[in-house]
Structure 1
Amino acid sequence: MKRVRCPKCDNFITFDETKYQPGQSLVFECPECNKQFGIRIGVSKLRNTQKEEKIDEQSNENGYGSIVVIENVFHYKQVIPLQIGDNIIGRYMKNSGINCPIETNDPSIDMNHCIINVSRDKKGRLKYVLRDGPSYTGTFVDNEILGDRERRVIEDGSLFTIGATSIILREADKD
């Protein structure tokens, strides 16, 4: 099974690619927004379904660590790489401008829910500081809500919660 994303509303449509030949053109109509769009098998924006995706929790495209979004009823497991500076975490919406979007249906996650700042300390080690967005439902670290303007240093394996979603920090590989 493969899935393709609607170019208008970003809804995923799943289909069985084994019924079609490479190079064959398909036309879809999005059940959410009724947008019609076409793809070509073997050429286009096809993506594995979430169950088939191979997710490496230690993946580290740029060397600054990542966050692992734990699968629940609202979304599938996701690994999102971090960058140096502010990493704004929130619900994915097309053209929102956040740099760590979570693809979710969780209504309790704000568009700009929380921020992880990645920097280097005086010894050159990476430092991760979490703060709330501010958000409507808050950001929790070890079952304690972060206060207004409160910053919390988190480390590899730290678990924090936004809305109904739990996230684990994975630091960059240590040399």
Structure 2
Amino acid sequence: MSNLAQEKKYKKIITGLSIVIPLAVAALFGINLRKLGFNVAPLTFLPPIYASINGITAVVLIAAVIAIKKGNRKLHEQLNTFAIACSLVFLLLYIGYHMTSDSTKFGGEGAIKYIYYFILFTHIILSIIIIPLVLTTFMRAKLGNFPQHKKIAKLTFPLWLYVAITGVVVYLMISPYYV
């Protein structure tokens, strides 16, 4: 099968995942198992863990860029694969927290409140946009289409890094309001 045919096949999968993941997260975000009568403990210990995973993702992404700039393609691939795994673990923990715990309201006042909501809004929107970008970037590298990989990576990297860093920032800003 040619690279073009393989890319076409993978694009269908990427499109499907790019639609299903945000819809599933939104649907599961609205389900609180405790309020539905399930006897589950609230997973209130998870936010600092998944915020740390976002921080690790940011560091790994920077390390991946340094690796490729030094010509170490194998390390670059390993680091990006690890960053994808970190993002997946983050997502699972995030869903687990929100399915077992009440959402925390930001309690800041004045300008900080608007800054928080701006960061949160851009974080959420870009976390949705980044899904097809990360998957497409990864797929092009796996298929050996390095010119197209490099082209999309120039967009994917800063957006993914922003999502990872703002995940930590959002946690730090809201953490004083956790009950």
Q: Same fold (TM over 0.5)?
A: no
Structure with bigger strand share is 1
Structure with bigger helix share is 2
Class of the TM-score when normalised by the shorter of the 2 chains: under 0.3
Q: Which structure carries more relative contact order (alpha carbon 8 Å, separation 6+)?
A: 2
